[in-house]
Structure formats: C-alpha cells, structure tokens
Amino acid sequence: MLKKMLIGSGILVSTVAFLFGAGAWSYLSTSAKMVRDSVTSEIPVEFEVQRAREMVENLVPDIRRCMHVTAEQQVDIENLQAEIDRKTDSMVNQKQEILVLRSDLQSGNKQFVYASHTYSASDVKQDLATRFERYKLSEDSLKRDRQVLAARKKALESNQEKLDSMLVAKKDMEVQIENLEARLKAVQAAETVSTLEIDDSQLTRAKTLIRELNKQMDVKEKVLASEGSLTGSIPVDLKKKTSGNIANEIDEYFESKPEKKSEGKTNNGVARLVPSAN
C-alpha cells in the first residue's frame, strides 16, 4: 500500500513538473496553502476557542516544573548561604589563631605552652605555616562559593521572572478566552435572531377570517334594514306615550275644537256645507 502511494505521489509530482516546468513548486505550494486555508475556514469557532482553552491548560505542567525548579534553587541557595556563613565564621577563628601564633613567634621564645602541652618554636612555626596555607585555601573556596551563590541567585531571579511572566500570561489568556466565549455567545444569539423564521401564516389567516366575519355582519345588517323598508310600516317612536284606545283619543281631539256653523251658498255662488237634519 505504501509503495503504491509513493509511486502515485511520484507520478503526480512528475506530471505537475512536466505541465508547469520551473513553476511547479510554486503551483504546489499555492495549492497546498489554499487547501489549508479552506480547511481552516471551515473549522467552527467553538472548536477553536476550546482548542485555545486546552492550550492554556497545557501550560500548567510547564508552570509546575518551573515552580519546582525555582523551589529547588531557593533551597540550594539557602544551603549554600548557610555553608558560606559557617566558613566565614570558621575563617574568622582561623585568622585569630594565626595572628596569636605569629605574635608568639615574634616574642623570640624557644618554647610555648598551649592547652597544657609544650611546643618548640620550630613546631609552632610549622603549624603556623600549615594554618596559613589552609586559611588561604579556605579563603579561595569561600570566594568561589560566593560566586556560585551570586550566579544561583541570578538564575533564580531569572526563573522567577519567567514563572511570574508565565502566570500573568496564563491569567491574561484565560481572561481573553472568557471574553471570546462571551462574544461568541453574543454573536450566536444575534445569528439566531437574524436567522429566525417566524411562520405568520396562522396570524394572517386569523386576520383574514376576522375581516370576512365583519364583512358578513355588515351585509346582514344592511339586508335587515332593506327588508324593513319593504314592509311599509310606519316608524314608531317608542319614546312617545300612547293611550290604549285610539277611539277615545280621536273623540277627545275633535271635542276640543269649536263646532262650525252650517254653510250655504255665498253670494258669489260658492257652495257651502249644510249640516244634515239627522
């Protein structure tokens, strides 16, 4: 399988080189970049945000290692400082003893008594020379220790700054990721609102039905009004009070009028009404 893939790749490269000549590599690199950019653009933003969060979380082991290194350096510095202090105190005592022996030798005595023991001037001189050499070696060792201490302190300071920088960067990136997630949620909410398709067909149908019902009621009312005019009935004012007997009303009305005299013909020959003898 691998052999076939290699052969296929070789054929593809040869074909491209044949078709495009010296610019084949440019075509290949450009095509690869376009494919890579296309794939990258298709990756969801949520995935990239989560990937960024995981990358920040992956900094934790490095931070812990840096913390461990700085802690070890601090302990080493403390131990070395204690050793330097011990050597310094010892050298102070050695110097005092050397000065005492030197002072005794300068006295010119032949013998000296130290701690109930008697020593000749030659013994004291030899011991003084040995002590002096040891003192100088201790002094050189103390000098080197102090140089090592200064170098370790400088390294510790550098590592501490690196650790502090990593902690600050981690915190800053966490805040940025939180902001990204908040912005992403806001954008997603806006996209949901902008792409929300509301089905208003039901609302439209309801409005149409109400309009039709109002139209039907208007038609019925007009039809009823038209049928009333066809019956020929006199409109009655219900507010006007009427008596129960129409005959009595008529009698009362005419009895209240003065009776007119019988009339004949006037001089001009116009006929006049004459009441009946009945």
Q: How much is the pTM?
A: 0.51
CA distance 128 to 258: 179
Kindly report, residue by residue over 178-192, the tens digit of the pLDDT. 998 898 888 888 877
Q: Report, at the CATH architecture level, how domain 45-192 is classified.
A: Orthogonal Bundle (1.10)
- Report the candidate in 258, 266, 243, 76 with the shortest Cα–Cα distance to residue 159: 76
Q: From the DSSP assignment, how many helices (H) and strands (E) are in the chain? A: 7, 2
Kindly report, residue by residue over 159-176, the tens digit of the pLDDT. 999 999 999 999 999 999
Range in 68-72, 159-163, 164-168, 214-218 with the lowest mean pLDDT? 214-218
Of residues 222 and 72, which shows the higher confidence score?
72
Task: Quote the pLDDT of residue 94.
Answer: 94
Q: How far is CA 201 from CA 70, 193, 208, 211, in A?
A: 71, 19, 10, 15
The whole-number average pLDDT for the span 49-73 is: 91
Kindly report, residue by residue over 21-43, the tens digit of the pLDDT. 555 556 556 655 554 555 455 67
CA distance 121 to 107: 10
Task: Quote the pLDDT of residue 76.
Answer: 96
How confident is residue 78, by pLDDT bands cut at 50, 70 and 90? very high
CA distance 199 to 37: 38
The whole-number average pLDDT for the span 111-139 is: 93
Residue 267 is encoded by which pair of tokens?
Answer: 């001089």
